[in-house]
Structure 1
Amino acid sequence: SIWDNDAAGVSAGIYGHEPQDAQLYFGDWGFDFIKIDYCGGDVLGLNEKERYTSIRNSIDKVNKDVSVNICRWAFPGTWAKDVATSWRISGDINAHWGSLKYVVGKNLYLSAYAGNGHYNDMDMMVIGFRDNSKVGGKGLTPTEEEAHFGLWCIMSSPLLIGCNLENLPESSLELLTNKELIALNQDPLGLQAYVAQHENDGYVLVKDIEQKRGNVRAVALYNPTDTVCSFSVPFSSLEFDGNVKVRDLVKRSDLGNFSGNFEQTLPARSAMFLRMEGETRLEPTLYEAEWAYLPLFNDLGKNPKGIIYANDKEASGKMKVGFLGGQPENYAEWREVYSGDGGRYNMTIYYSFGKGRQLEVDVNGIITKINSLGEDETHNQISIPVELKAGYNTIRMGNSYNWAPDIDCFTLTKAL
């Protein structure tokens, strides 16, 4: 009620009534899910972490199995995983392409925070709102709806239908019941697709399905622009070698076997969703900074120098991590750096703004301090030897007591 000046709603929220509301909703009434908005908390200037943690504690005293959704209209911070099973990452969605593009853009680089039963919530779906100006626009075209639903599925967002089911077009119903797309969302690995390639204005997203580091992956080609976009995707960038079987999940049809790369031209405001099965899964050699987990990251905008995923047209994938370091806890972490056999590797780190800065590189607890990063602020690179164990390795980058350089990416090559 805050936003339409309805004074009847003042003091009627959960704030100040947490124990009694928890008992009523989850004890007396037996509900098992709640989405908690932040309108009153925003107006009163409350602390997000304190408020949602207090609510969670009150709920746990009644029923610890309740699923909580944090609706703070931004990625609230890594503390959210201890309180909620899902959290909104954007402002409210509306039924037009500009809104959809904005929401997807907010989630493109949040894959590190999803998984293990916790998910980035892209808001309720606006499928089926054709020619309805009351929901912020005239609705989506069938092609836009395909992109909408497929992206929610491959990015493992909760799937909530927000339209009037009585007026649902047949094509929308067919899309919402596409079992092959839904399988991406409900895959037991629970992973969110990450951006493997960003060239021109198109994005290629990928994630493992069915088995981690197996030979089957889900891939999306996403064109958010108002013009056609051509894609040329080397299978090596998807960690595949040899022939690759490709299936179109929207059309539910096999496209055949391909080798080398996959090429496709997509119309404006569209996406294509594929199941790819390769002959051989390659050991990855490139790790982008935007794939990293940042323990101090949030999107609340309260800290002008808080660690961020930032656009950089000269960086690999056009993204980097900035405002890294300054305290021991402000690091970037890649938790699943994979080596088939382990051993000695050459790590090449690509960075910018190295002048006067230092970098600490932690590989499975072994720290290398790099003090000489050049005397300018342009894009640069430096190589160090590292030792990896067979399987998954954890690599961190930061600087305990000073700013670290902005990180673009790093590569790993087996030492001869």
Structure 2
Amino acid sequence: MGWNSWDAYGLTITESQFRDNVEILAKTLKPFGWDYAVIDEGWFLQNPHELKSGNVIYALDANGRYVPVPERFPSATVNGRNEGFRAIGDYVHAKGLKFGIHIVRGIPREAVRRDSPVAHSRFRAKEVADITDPCPWDPTNWGVRDTPAGQAWYDSLMSQYAGWGVDFIKVDCISDHPYKPGEIQMIHKAIAKTHRQMLLSLSPGPTSPSIAKELLPYAQMWRISDDVWDFWKNTRHAPRSVHDQFELAAAWAPYARPGSWPDADMLPLGYLGPEPGDGVARQTRLTPAEQRTMMTLWSIMRSPLIVGANLTKLDDWTTALLTNRDVIEINQYAHDQRQVAREGNTVVWTAEGRNGKRYLALFNLNDGDKRITRTYAFYNLPSGAYRSRELWTNQKGEPSDGIDVTLPAHSCMLLELTR
């Protein structure tokens, strides 16, 4: 659980903006479990708006590794030397939070042009790079050879990040289009050598369920789809919509357990601006009902919960959505989560919780109202009467052996069931 800068700031986040968001994260969301603060792509770009033009200017150290741009992250400069994110890592940790960064797999093309020496090794950048293997959609890096030189490169990167106090590394262009198992394994080995616990998150999706067992030994999170943005439905191939995620969530739910987290992507909730990674600055396009549906699906499938809102503009509605302890309890501690029924655009999930609790989530994906009349036994729950409590409204029901409800369009109901 945590916050990532991409949905609100895109490539442009600055230190002051990051610190402002961390203050709100620590004060408002951390008491409910939201504890990662992640700087997404572009922190090493002096002129991030020129990334696609080819005229971008990078900040690198003497060993060809990206470092934060001092003009954007002034605490990086100590006695005339760029010390990276060390000061920011210390600041985040002092707030009782964990610190994360985004990178793209590979080695900077600029480091290869300079043929920079690889730190703590006898290799140089040209021995590391595979210039036939660029990221298809990102112009910053070349791929890395699966050789001792390539391993030395990733060893140098992870050593650098460990020194900055990094707890979370999101590596992009590695889990699909293209899938790079060799580089995933090299990064995993490099993290292990640091003796620092750093969570490895792989992006983008859609990662195929067929390779899940390959990923389990090496990564703790992996994206199950392309980027998700604030659409209920989207006729374009990308970005993904909330409606799109139901089928993927059902396929991936069995893999969600401690240390293994299929990632349905960030939550594009709240205010997305000033420079979001998709579209113009805006309040989320999702309706309140759609936002609850998104939070309910992510929670009961046990996806990581990474919010993308500009936290400095967090409103009461979004705060309440993100701080429902009962819903968070399901996400963090439930088990045996699964989709148990799909009848057209009516989707039903169950999960088991602590102390014998059972959960039933009903989703109406239709564009109009939907009446649902079923026994609990129909959803593979032990037959008999249950007391119910709807976790978004806290409305309690009398003991019953089933449900008879009408859900508005795009809405959901999340029930806690007890004997």
Please indicate, yes or no, whether the TM-score normalized by the shorter chain is above 0.5: yes
Shift of 1:169: 2.2
- Stretches of structure 2 that go unaligned for 5 or more consecutive residues are 1-41, 43-49, 59-107, 110-139, 145-149, 234-240
Matches within 5 A, 1:238-387: 238-259=380-401, 261-278=402-419
CA contact (8 A) 2:220 2:259 kept: yes
CA contact (8 A) 1:88 1:123 kept: yes
Higher relative contact order (CA 8 A, sep 6+): 2
1:73 to 205, 220, 245: 205
Shift of the 7–40 alpha-carbon distance from structure 1 to 2, 3 Å rule, reads farther
- CA distance in 2 between partners of 1:65 and 1:84 (Å): 12
CA contact (8 A) 2:269 2:284 kept: no
Secondary structure (helix, strand or coil) at the match of 1:240 reads: coil
Shift of 1:23: 0.2
Shift of 1:244: 0.6
Matches within 5 A, 1:103-182: 103-129=245-271, 133-134=279-280, 139-182=285-328
CA contact (8 A) 1:18 1:55 kept: yes
Task: Give the equivalent residue in structure 1 for 2:30.
Answer: none
1:48 to 180, 183, 204: 180
RMSD: 2.7
CA contact (8 A) 1:89 1:121 kept: yes
Matches within 5 A, 1:52-67: 52-63=184-195, 65-67=197-199
- CA distance in 1 between partners of 2:227 and 2:244 (Å): 10
CA contact (8 A) 1:114 1:192 kept: no
Secondary structure (helix, strand or coil) at the match of 1:152 reads: helix
- CA distance in 2 between partners of 1:116 and 1:174 (Å): 26
The residue type equivalent to 2:325 in the other structure is K
CA contact (8 A) 2:272 2:310 kept: no
1:194 to 338, 362, 365: 338
Shift of the 40–203 alpha-carbon distance from structure 1 to 2, 3 Å rule, reads closer
The residue type equivalent to 2:410 in the other structure is R
- CA distance in 1 between partners of 2:384 and 2:175 (Å): 56
Secondary structure (helix, strand or coil) at the match of 2:171 reads: strand
Shift of 1:135: 6.3
Shift of the 138–115 alpha-carbon distance from structure 1 to 2, 3 Å rule, reads closer
- CA distance in 2 between partners of 1:144 and 1:197 (Å): 20
Bigger proportion of residues as helix: 2
Task: Give the equivalent residue in structure 1 for 2:61.
Answer: none
- CA distance in 2 between partners of 1:130 and 1:22 (Å): 31
- CA distance in 2 between partners of 1:19 and 1:263 (Å): 58
Task: Give the equivalent residue in structure 1 for 2:350.
Answer: 206
Task: Give the equivalent residue in structure 2 for 1:290.
Answer: none
1:29 to 153, 164, 167: 164
Shift of 1:73: 1.0
Matches within 5 A, 1:77-88: 77-78=211-212, 79-88=214-223
Q: Given the two structures, how large is their TM-score scaled by the length of structure 1?
A: 0.59
Q: Given the two structures, how large is their TM-score scaled by the length of structure 2?
A: 0.59
Secondary structure (helix, strand or coil) at the match of 2:191 reads: helix
Shift of the 41–119 alpha-carbon distance from structure 1 to 2, 3 Å rule, reads closer
